[in-house]
Amino acid sequence: MPAKQHTLWIVVALFCTYFIWGSTYLAIRFGIESFPPFLMGGIRFTVAGMVMYLVMRYLGSPNPTRQEWLGATIVGILLPALGNGTVCYVQQTVSSSVAALAIATAPIWMAIFSSVWGHKITNQEWLGIVIGLLGIILLNVGGSLHGDFASAALLIFAAACWSFGSVWSKHLAMPKGLMGAGCQMLTGGIALMLVSA
């Protein structure tokens, strides 16, 4: 791929990440006005996971093995269910700005959990984490920052679950590529639906 085209794809990918991921907390805020939080998250992830699973099977991806389903279930419980589900629940009482700030601690948790598995965090990586966290704080200065200590603690718990699951997933048997993401969303969505029942 030519360098110019490669750079364009990087810019497009970053834009999509900033726009889609950046609007997650606002979308959750609107979603929980119409649905109970765990049900809303459960529907979202179950439908997305099932669609991705079926598309990947149609495109020829093999059905995951029992070990891969187990790995995807563990990660699905840690990321979509505990990570995102907790955010959905807590956003009933806190602003989306508070949610974004608390979840911005995820890189710190990832650095800590990566260290447990033997990855030494470099000074440059710590600098990047600090700059990113400061950027999130600056973006939310003047925003509607309301909430209580328990809610903030739950949000930090959500960030820790997401980070732990992300790091642990590298050491689990997982379906390859997008099939893995689909299975994680599907199992996490089902877990949220069970909690909402």
The pLDDT tens digits of the residues spanning 64-99 come to 999 999 999 999 999 999 999 999 999 888 877 777
Distance CA 52, CA 76 (A): 14
Which tokens belong to 32?
């929980």
Helix (H, G, I), strand (E, B) or coil at 137: helix
The mean predicted confidence, pLDDT, of the chain is 88
- Going by the DSSP 8-state scheme, the letter that residue 128 receives in this structure is H
Which residue segment(s) compose the domain that 79 sits in?
A: 3-196
Q: Nearest 5 degrees, angle CA 16-CA 18-CA 22? A: 120
* Confidence (pLDDT) at 27: 79
Flag whether pLDDT at 139 surpasses 70: no
Flag whether pLDDT at 35 surpasses 80: yes
Question: Which residues, 6+ apart, have CB-to-CB distance to 133 below 8 Å?
Answer: 104, 105, 107, 108
* Confidence (pLDDT) at 149: 79
pTM of the model: 0.81
Please tell me which residue, 20 or 171, carries the higher pLDDT value: 171
* Confidence (pLDDT) at 22: 67
Packed helices 96-103 and 123-140: angle between N→C axes, nearest 10 degrees: 170
Distance CA 150, CA 159 (A): 14
Distance CA 68, CA 57 (A): 15
Helix (H, G, I), strand (E, B) or coil at 85: helix
- Domain tally, the chain: 1
150, exposed or middle or buried, with CB in 10 Å at 0-12, 13-18, 19+? Answer: exposed
